[in-house]
Amino acid sequence: MGFSNAAVGNAGLVLLLVLTILISACMLYQLPSPEYFDDDWIRHGFCVSNADTTWLNSHSLSFYADVVLALCIARLFANQPTSAPPLQAAMLSGAIFGVFGHGLGHLYLGKNAQGMDLRFRPEDIPTSVASILVTVMAFGAIFQGTMPLSSRSRLAMTAVVATAGFTILDIAPKLNFVYGQAAIYISNALHMLTLSSQDKSAATYALYPYFQLPVLLVGVLESTACQGFLQPLGGHVLFDGAIGFGTIGIELLSRYLESDRSSAVKSKSL
């Protein structure tokens, strides 16, 4: 007897959660030692190629890639079968804004490479309060896409906790995206583990966590093998590509599996 989508998804989400926490902790605090990390990544917080240009550096390239990928995902959503499970529909629609919004963040960093300090600073309360409010709203919008079928109260609470993490964990501006991606994956995994058994029966639930593992792998390579491997290939744009293509892959494979399951059910009923 095969494993159910719920069991496969549960195992994958626990794995994703554990790996995200371990890898993110190592990257944020350069553990076990800075010598294990690429010097260029330590300097920028990303693997940046063409760092001396504005429109062709890795951040700008990531923006271009994310716009194209968001359009592709939007096209997929427009012709998604009406029979798609609610979870599958929610995750695909949420990914449109998620991928595009991720790209906008890179567009900003392409012209402001140092990033914005999102920690609370007592010496500059007005600026700190303003940045905190913007960050809460930004996280709330992102979580609406990455925490499918979530209640508004859960989205708001998660956004507040994630924003507080910048100050609690003392996240330097250049590492904002590293922390942000960790917050997204952790909140996503914890939320999806609480979904109903009916939602967990969707093929998307079983596939999602495993399609995120290549993203984590690219993140590890980015921080440890930037100059020698990823930089000539475009640097961080490969990370964004892994997210976007993973979303497309999940959707296409989910359609196939759901169609196959529907056909099997019809055959049994005959």
- Residue 123: the pLDDT is 93
pTM: 0.92
Q: List, as one string, the DSSP characters of 132-170.
A: HHHHHHHHHHHHHHHSTT--HHHHHHHHHHHHHHHHHTT
pLDDT tens profile 147-184: 999 999 999 999 999 999 999 999 999 999 999 999 99
Q: Report which DSSP code applies to 112.
A: -
Give yes or no for residue 206 having a pLDDT over 90: yes
- Residue 23: the pLDDT is 98
CATH code for position 94: 1.20.1070
pLDDT tens profile 103-154: 998 888 887 766 788 999 999 999 999 999 989 998 998 898 899 999 999 9
CA 115/CA 120 separation, integer angstroms:
15
> How many CA atoms are closer than 13 Å to the CA of 61, on its beta-carbon side?
21
Domain count, the chain: 1
What's the distance, Cα to Cα, between the start and end of the chain in Å?
22
| Cis preceding-peptide flag for 32 (omega within 30 of 0) | yes
> Residue for token digits 């790209």?
103
Domain span at 46: 5-269
Lookup: tokens for 67: 């716009």
Give yes or no for residue 16 having a pLDDT over 70: yes
CA 35/CA 41 separation, integer angstroms:
12
